[in-house]
Amino acid sequence: MKNLHKSVMINEIISFLPLTKSINIIDATFGGGGYSKTILEKFNVKHLLAIDRDPTSKIFAKKIESKFSNFTLINDKFSKIEEIVNNTEFKDKKFDIILFDIGTSSNQIDNAQRGFSFNKSGPLDMQMGGSDKNAYDIINKYEEKNLADIIYQYGEERYSRVIAKEIVKNRGVKFINNTIELSNIIKKCLPKKNKLKNKIHPATKTFQAIRIYVNDELNELKTSLEKTLKILNKDGLILVVSFQSLEDRIVKDFFNHNSGKRWRSSRHYPELPDKLATQLKIITKKPILPSASEIFENPRSRSAKLRVAQKI
């Protein structure tokens, strides 16, 4: 299987890594292995623990495993990051660098059979791995209100109610089996002026919403970020590349709340007290964005944002 994924902002990522110090690293989103491979080749790595929930990541890990004995891939969800560390040879180890490059890889999006793409005909699946839900059940079985809420909450789609209504109308005639069928239903729901004004495909937000819900992506991220605090070394860095505003807000809130900033109400962390103990120092006051040349070479990088914080 060929790795189709082009790593995003790899130069910016490695610019934060110490050049000579011997380091323990977690690559929490191994994907096609682009980050892991570059780091193993260029830096003084004691151990690199890679994690990915997608079973296909094991295929991309084979070459790296054969070349580097200090590399281990665990096929699991990163929300279990602390348990993974404690249940493996890494027990009681602390890490100097923890990397997240969240979202989907091109290996997932470009494989029509996975059902992530509104441009490629495939089954309504959208599972990244280790999920107990799938897109088919959500689209064909969920109540209209529930469906509209998911599309609104996780896609920030203002036409969520119209789209949910149209989905329910269509599935009353025949079950919706296929990504293109779903995409065509959504297309009909958006007003013409909106389609012309907006450069993104009309199904983008709805597909994002269903994918996030199927894979419980926001909870995965929140849970995992909290756990990193327990396994980072003093001065260790956490680096997160995110691709949409809901994820970026979670990262920003997490960094702010753990760096002594006063609590500002947020729907993502409603249960926290006013101010938390200071455990992090924010390194990137504003997120770092990909360069114009990277966006030109790899348009999928255009919405990426990198944030970095340091354990103190």
Ligand X SMILES: C[S@@+](CC[C@H](N)C(=O)[O-])C[C@H]1O[C@@H](n2cnc3c(N)ncnc32)[C@H](O)[C@@H]1O
CB of 181 to ligand X, least distance (A): 25
CA–CA separation, 119 and 76 (whole Å): 28
Output DSSP code: residue 262: P
CB of 149 to ligand X, least distance (A): 22
Q: Convert 39-70 to b/e letters by CB count within 10 Å (16 or more is b).
A: bbeebebebbbbbbbbebbeebbeebeeebee
Q: Which is nearer to ligand X, 54 or 248 (CB)?
A: 54
CA–CA separation, 249 and 227 (whole Å): 18
Q: Which is nearer to ligand X, 181 or 216 (CB)?
A: 216
Give φ, ψ of 96 to 5 degrees: -90, -30
CA–CA separation, 128 and 146 (whole Å): 22
**Sheet containing 305-311, strands listed edge to edge, beginning at the edge strand earlier in sequence:** 71-75, 45-52, 23-27, 95-101, 232-242, 305-311, 280-282
CB of 223 to ligand X, least distance (A): 9
Q: Which is nearer to ligand X, 75 or 184 (CB)?
A: 75
CA atoms lying within 13 Å on the CB side of residue 158: 4
Q: Which is nearer to ligand X, 85 or 190 (CB)?
A: 85
CB of 178 to ligand X, least distance (A): 23
Q: Which is nearer to ligand X, 38 or 233 (CB)?
A: 38
* Contact footprint for ligand X (CB under 6 A): 5, 7, 29, 31-35, 51-54, 57, 77-79, 101-105, 128, 220
Give φ, ψ of 147 to 5 degrees: -65, -45
CA–CA separation, 173 and 176 (whole Å): 9
Q: Which is nearer to ligand X, 35 or 159 (CB)?
A: 35
**Residues 6+ away with beta carbon under 8 Å from 227:** 79, 81, 82
CB of 168 to ligand X, least distance (A): 29
Q: Which is nearer to ligand X, 185 or 212 (CB)?
A: 212
CB of 114 to ligand X, least distance (A): 10
50: enclosing H helix or E strand: strand 45-52
CA–CA separation, 312 and 293 (whole Å): 35
CB of 63 to ligand X, least distance (A): 13
CB of 310 to ligand X, least distance (A): 21
Q: Which is nearer to ligand X, 128 or 167 (CB)?
A: 128
